[in-house]
Amino acid sequence: MRLSTKTLIMTNRIRFTLFSLFVAFGLNAQEEVSFEEYNPPSSLVVPENPVSRAKFPFIDVHSHQRNLGLKDLKALAAQMDAMNMGAMVNLSGGSGKRIADAKANIDANGNKRFVSFANINFSQIGTDGWGERAATQLELDVKLGASGLKIFKNLGFSVKDKDGNRVAVDDPRIDPVWAKCGELGIPVLIHSADPKQFWEPFDANNERWLELKTHPRRKRDANNPVPWETIIQEQHNVFKKHANTTFIAAHMGWYANDLTYLGQLLDQMPNMMVEIGAVIAELGRQPKMANMFFQKYQDRVLFGKDSYRPEEYPTYFRVLESDDEYFPYYKKYHAYWKMYGLGLPDEILKKLYYKNALRIIPGFDKSRFPD
């Protein structure tokens, strides 16, 4: 029997009312979850081999231990031993007395597991003879115990000369400092810019959307203070101009997501090294490509972490050493994707963990590390 139009309308209304009741009482209704909250454990069943301790003693070339001269180095060494960290580079060494105090503390504890990199004071740049004075101070810092120079990202961002102008990374007034590093045989670990996505539109196409939402101060306009490409090119200009100085580009020069191009840069600039601090998630999502990169450039990459949090190091070990599949990074706002182990061979691991660092950074007790 065919239902009348009026009856059909009434039937549909009843169905809609019942559906509304189901939704209202949570019956068969989906709970709305934001992207920030959505982080379900994987249902994938695969072998898991977490690595709590590095296979070989390693040197963290990117650590910040401010006021190292005042720290309890025995307590710090105990933490390091637990994860098989053989030595550490303190990039926040400062200058003058801070360098000397750190060296005295290290010597008093009877080990050479810590070295400090000096820092440059740019406050007087633009005044007559600033470059020569800065180079002279750096030479004194090395005599006091510094093993290298760390340049923070404020160069190229917020450093201004005496006239209030932005100081570019490749400002020629800094040339005496770069040249002095080459003369002294010490490396420069330099952080320029930030991830490129910080300069890109804050929208659904930005891979760092969650990080920029949770850390809005990291967002930059396209020309704030200049385009990303400008700062990166300034850094490379310095590398090319000062071929006798060894430069370590922090965070793989922000090209861990484009290893083909990073390899081209390493080919162009033999004095350029890179370290993996804060970019392990980029390597872990491309295990095949990363393996090929490490095979080819095994003499050019150093282990670095940046933020010193012992509980986070095992993720680095797992990516580098294991063959595990589909495991998470420890900060979703850095990397919402899962990672895979690279399963690097022992000889490459040794170079990454300590051999490359021992080759270019003076001051460590090499007897602590295997041949």
10-residue mean pLDDT profile of the chain (371 residues): values are 47 47 47 85 91 98 93 94 97 97 91 94 96 98 98 97 97 98 98 97 96 96 96 98 98 98 98 98 98 98 97 98 96 94 98 98 94 82
Would you state the structure tokens that stand for residue 323, as one six-digit string?
A: 């063959």
CA-CA distance, 245 to 75, in Å (whole number)? 35
271's CB contacts (< 8 A; 6+ apart) are 239, 242, 243, 244, 245, 246, 247
pLDDT of residue 9: 44
pLDDT of residue 25: 47
Q: Is 38 exposed, middle or buried (0-12, 13-18, 19+ CB in 10 A)?
A: exposed
pTM: 0.91
CA-CA distance, 161 to 294, in Å (whole number)? 40
How big is the chain, counted in residues? 371
pLDDT of residue 76: 94
pLDDT of residue 13: 55
Q: Is 197 exposed, middle or buried (0-12, 13-18, 19+ CB in 10 A)?
A: buried
pLDDT of residue 4: 53
pLDDT of residue 30: 61
pLDDT of residue 171: 98
Superfamily of domain 52-368: Metal-dependent hydrolases (3.20.20.140)
% of the chain at pLDDT higher than 70: 92
pLDDT of residue 21: 43
